[in-house]
């Protein structure tokens, strides 16, 4: 009788917390009231999504609102994710790796573009024509972003180190202004600000290498993804539709960029037409891993990543293709 009583009590307790003795299943987490997602001038798909309201349409029936937060750079997007101020954030792949290594609990789940969004820029009056000319010069850059990683890789390619230059830490638009005003000699910049310097201020791109630009990736907070895997998939379904729409309607993407970033048409056309590849984006996997690994190895050699860190393992922990794989299956079934 005692045994039957205890079993009965146990069953009642498990039933009270919604756990089945037969299946061991735990009840699903309640859906959030709001999904917080970033928009960034370096992520044109995000601007189109925000402009069209397609995510809002997707989640209206669920009673889930969409809150847009502005990322001024990968470092700012990572700050938003780390502080639980955003659920999804747009960064460069290598910047996401640095965030992951530094304890930011994120997963990279989607590729929104294959950009050449960074280059080394100077003014005509500086006499700088090659990477070696940067030795001893003042160079503006935003630490923790693809332009910062690009700068380190450029220096490494000619045997220079960060200590060989005077780094001036500025967010991207401030770096642009510092170069224009003569406060720095060079700038490792980001579009659309690079395009502005080219079109409006006779800036010169003295070093470019598209392969040293890591992919544009969409990251999600791990805790959000674990609690809401279906919502992550639904966000990616809408993102993928928007990317394909953007490829077919470039004029609308350009209009969205001009309105959001307050750009002139020639500046937007330069960024989107020459240096933004949306067609190669979408899935995330081995190609992105190899690109980020090449950047990570240079960062480790430069001392930015500690020698004891297993960079390849960190990349495997970062990149998680399961959500976009399921999202693509859903799209194919429609």
CATH of 118-212, one of 3.30.10.20, 3.30.565.10, 3.40.190.10, 3.40.50.620: 3.40.190.10
Query: Each residue of 16-30: b (16+ CB within 10 Å) or e?
Result: eeeeeeeeeeeeeee
User: What pTM was computed for the model?
Assistant: 0.86
- pLDDT on residue 29: 65
Q: Please answer whether residues 150 and 190 qualify as being in contact, where contact means their C-beta atoms are separated by less than 8 angstroms.
A: no
Q: Tell me the CB-side half-sphere exposure of residue 55, using CA atoms within 13 A.
A: 28
Q: Please answer whether residues 235 and 160 qualify as being in contact, where contact means their C-beta atoms are separated by less than 8 angstroms.
A: no
- pLDDT on residue 334: 80
The whole-angstrom distance between residue 230's C-alpha and the CA centroid of its chain comes to 21
Helices (H), the chain: 2-16, 44-52, 54-59, 74-82, 93-101, 146-157, 172-180, 193-201, 222-227, 229-248, 250-261, 265-275, 286-301, 311-318, 322-333
Instruction: Please indicate whether the domains covering 34-114+215-333 and 118-212 agree at the CATH topology level.
Output: yes
Domain extent listing, the chain: 1-27, 34-114+215-333, 118-212
DSSP state, 89?
Answer: E
Token pair recorded at residue 150: 């690009």
Mean pLDDT split into 10-residue runs, the chain, 334 residues: 38 36 48 96 97 97 97 95 98 96 97 96 97 98 93 95 96 96 97 95 94 95 97 98 97 96 96 95 95 94 94 97 96 87
CATH of domain 34-114+215-333: 3.40.190.10
Contacts of 55 (CB under 8 A, 6+ apart): 35, 37, 49, 66, 235, 238
């Amino acid at each position: 009788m005692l045994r039957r009583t205890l079993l009965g009590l146990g069953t009642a307790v498990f039933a009270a917390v919604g756990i089945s003795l037969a299946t061991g299943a735990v009840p699903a987490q309640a859906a959030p009231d709001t999904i917080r997602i970033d928009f960034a001038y370096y992520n044109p798909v995000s601007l189109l999504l925000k402009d069209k309201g397609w995510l809002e349409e997707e989640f209206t029936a669920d009673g889930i609102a969409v809150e847009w937060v502005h990322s001024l750079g990968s470092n700012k997007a990572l700050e938003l994710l780390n502080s639980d101020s955003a659920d999804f954030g747009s960064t460069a792949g290598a910047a996401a790796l640095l965030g992951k290594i530094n304890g930011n609990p994120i997963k990279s789940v989607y590729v929104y573009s294959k950009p050449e969004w960074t280059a080394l820029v100077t003014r005509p009056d500086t006499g700088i024509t090659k990477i070696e000319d940067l030795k001893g010069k003042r160079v503006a850059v935003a630490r923790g972003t693809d332009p910062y990683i690009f700068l380190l890789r450029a220096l490494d390619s000619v045997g220079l180190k960060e200590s060989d230059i005077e780094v001036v830490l500025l967010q991207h638009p401030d770096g642009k202004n510092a170069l224009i005003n003569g406060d720095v000699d060079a700038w490792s910049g980001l579009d659309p600000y690079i395009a502005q310097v080219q079109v409006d201020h006779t800036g010169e791109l003295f070093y470019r290498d598209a392969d040293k630009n890591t992919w544009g990736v969409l990251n999600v907070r791990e805790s959000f993804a674990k609690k809401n895997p279906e919502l992550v998939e639904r966000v990616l379904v809408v993102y993928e539709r928007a990317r394909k729409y953007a490829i077919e309607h470039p004029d609308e993407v350009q209009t969205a960029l001009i309105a959001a970033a307050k750009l002139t048409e020639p500046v937007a056309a330069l960024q989107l037409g020459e240096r933004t590849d949306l067609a190669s984006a979408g899935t995330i996997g081995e190609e992105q891993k190899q690109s980020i690994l090449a950047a990570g190895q240079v960062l480790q050699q430069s001392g930015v990543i500690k020698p004891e860190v297993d960079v390849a393992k960190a990349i495997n922990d970062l990149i998680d293709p399961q959500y976009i794989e399921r999202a693509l299956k859903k799209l194919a079934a429609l």
